[in-house]
Structure 1
Amino acid sequence: MDKHLLRNGCARVTARGIIFKGARFTCSRAIRDLWFEKAAFEKEWRVRIVYTINKELSVIYIVDSNGDMEKCNRIDGGKRPSDVKLQLYFQSIQKLKALRKMQNNDAYIINRDKKKVGKWKN
């Protein structure tokens, strides 16, 4: 990525995604930190971004307070998805996160129970 091709910008975090120039984007940080749910239940906010000057605008980068950048990919492919499709997308992400959390909890319980069984075998 050539730094001289980057331009500064500002995007909005909404319940429908990170919006910039009419396009929707997402990134792992937004999903991990539940940005879209927070925007839906609380309020939208702006984030500083940089982007490359090209016609596609398929990627933007969120810039945090330390100057670190996180890549955000376009999720609408240039077409405006329906609200139903976006809702299904975000619901599927949340289901995957819940499933991962359940698997981690199950592994913890199994390991904890193995330790207890080991203590009683004297």
Structure 2
Amino acid sequence: MQQYNKRDAKVTGRGIQVNEKLYSCSLAIRDGWFERAIIEGEWGVIAFQYPFCNEFYFIQHDNEMITCRPIEIKSVNSEDLEAYYEIIRALKEYRRHRRKLQ
């Protein structure tokens, strides 16, 4: 990890926050980190950045470096946001149910 700059980050309902910017990654989406942060509260993670790459951060999970890409949060009203999360929850439940049937 020594070739990387280490930064404190936190998982929020809006993304992985490093300094004042927000990032996302496949792991956070797959495991529902942002939804969990809304429900259970924010938590800290360590982010790594390659010295000459300002675009991406990496987080370590199970000895693997996961790429985090910057995201932009556009203004969305709370009703639309809640509807979006409800659809995501329903899709995840449907997928779990389908896997049980197989």
Normalised to the residue count of structure 2, the TM-score between the two structures is 0.70
Deviates more, 1:67-76 or 1:38-47: 67-76
**Aligned counterpart for 1:67 among listed residues 56, 63, 72:** 63
Structure with the larger helix share: 1
Higher Cα Rg, which structure: 1
Q: List aligned pairs for 1:30-109, cutoff 5 A.
A: 30-54=28-52, 57-64=54-61, 66-76=62-72, 81-84=73-76, 95=87, 98-99=90-91, 102=94
User: Structure 1: which 4+ aligned runs deviate by more than 6 Å?
Assistant: 87-91, 106-109
Write the distance in 2 (CA, Å) between the matches of 1:49 and 1:15: 17
RMSD over equivalenced CA pairs, Å: 3.3
- Higher relative contact order (CA closer than 8 Å, sequence separation 6+): 2
Which structure 2 residue ranges, 5 or more long, are not aligned?
none
Structure 1 unaligned blocks of 5 or more? 110-122
- Does 28-37 or 95-104 show the bigger shift? 95-104
What is the CA deviation profile of residues 26-74 of structure 1, one whole-angstrom value per residue up to 9, with x for unaligned ones? 11111111110111111100111211224x622111113x432111111
Normalized against structure 1, the TM-score is what?
A: 0.60
Residue-pair matches, total: 100
Q: Matched residues, percent identical?
A: 27
Structure holding more strand per residue: 2
Query: Residues of 2 paired with 1:28 and 1:93: CA distance?
Result: 17
